[in-house]
Structure 1
């Protein structure tokens, strides 16, 4: 029973995400199969992020040796780029899809806003890791390097979509965008 306590953050965010997606009636608002694919894979992606970041540590990548600080037993790093490891680059890869989804949700978003959303998404993850480690002892480290790598990954994903959307792939990408929903048609 005690081990289940460590999983509380995962389940809270999983159920919150499920409620948000069903409450907003996204499936009805966006009716094409391509848009359903975007919604479904976005939910799967966010669930995977939830699992990777807010569950008890089950695996460990080779991390750089870092000077960590502790607050009531919860570790955190506030000194950026003490050393790069594979974890840094895996975090970049992990958040590239977030940039792609940002583009599919709002392709007219200014590039600077995409960077800001990437930072806020990363800050949300890191602050939750810190709080959840304090409350539920999930064994995570809030790390400023993750803020950097996650923001970079989001930026790369968004930039790639901008470039791809200016090529022959434009018509394919447009099918997966969350535009043309019922509320959009009512406003026009």
Structure 2
């Protein structure tokens, strides 16, 4: 029973995400197959991020030696780039899809805003890891390097989509964009 307590953050965000998607009737508002694929894979992606970041720590990648600080036994790192590890590069890879989804949600968004959203998303994750470790002892570390790598990954994903959308892939990408929903048609 005690082990289930560690999973509370995951289930809270899983049900919140499910409620948000169903409450906004995204499946009905965006009726094309490509848009359904975007919505479904976005939900799967956010669930995977929730699982990777807010469940009891199951992974032990070789990390760089870092000077850690502690608050009531909860470790955190506020000194950036003390040493790069495999985890830094995996975090970049993990958040490239976030940049892709941001582009598919709003392809007119300036790159600077996508960078800010990537940073805020990462800050949200790191803050939650710290709070959830403090309350539920999930064994996670809030790390400034994760803020950097996650923001970088989001930026890469968004920038790649900008470039791809200016090539022969434009028509394929357009099929997956969340534009032209029923609410858009009513406003035009």
Q: Give the TM interval when normalised to the shorter protein.
A: over 0.9
Q: Structure 1: how far apart are the matches of 2:111 and 2:38? A: 21
Q: Structure 2: how far apart are the matches of 1:89 and 1:77? A: 17
- The answer for the alignment partner of 1:119 in structure 2 is 119
| Aligned partner of residue 75 in structure 1, secondary structure | strand
Q: Structure 2: how far apart are the matches of 1:154 and 1:59? A: 22
Q: What TM-score results when the alignment is normalised by the length of structure 2?
A: 1.00
Q: Structure 2: how far apart are the matches of 1:185 and 1:60? A: 49
Residue 59 of structure 1, CA deviation: 1.4
Q: Structure 2: how far apart are the matches of 1:183 and 1:99? A: 24
| Aligned partner of residue 155 in structure 2, secondary structure | helix
| Aligned partner of residue 167 in structure 1, secondary structure | coil
| Aligned partner of residue 175 in structure 2, secondary structure | helix
- The answer for the alignment partner of 1:106 in structure 2 is 106
- The answer for the alignment partner of 2:63 in structure 1 is 63
- Per-residue CA deviation, residues 51-93 of structure 1 (Å, 9 max, x unaligned), is 0000001111010000000001111000000000000000000
- The answer for the alignment partner of 1:18 in structure 2 is 18
- The answer for the alignment partner of 1:132 in structure 2 is 132
For structure 1, list consecutive stretches of 5 or more residues without a partner in the other structure: none
| Aligned partner of residue 98 in structure 1, secondary structure | helix
Please tell me whether residue 72 in structure 1 is matched to residue 68 in structure 2.
Answer: no
> Matched residue pairs, number?
188
| Aligned partner of residue 53 in structure 1, secondary structure | helix
For structure 2, list consecutive stretches of 5 or more residues without a partner in the other structure: none
- Per-residue CA deviation, residues 68-122 of structure 1 (Å, 9 max, x unaligned), is 0000111100000000000000000000000000000000001100000000000
Would you identify which runs of 4 or more consecutive aligned residues in structure 1 move more than 3 Å? none
Q: Structure 1: how far apart are the matches of 2:100 and 2:106? A: 10
| Aligned partner of residue 176 in structure 1, secondary structure | coil
Q: Structure 2: how far apart are the matches of 1:52 and 1:151? A: 17
Q: Structure 1: how far apart are the matches of 2:103 and 2:114? A: 8
- The answer for the alignment partner of 1:145 in structure 2 is 145
Q: Structure 2: how far apart are the matches of 1:164 and 1:59? A: 34
**Cα RMSD after superposing both structures:** 0.3
Q: What TM-score results when the alignment is normalised by the length of structure 1?
A: 1.00
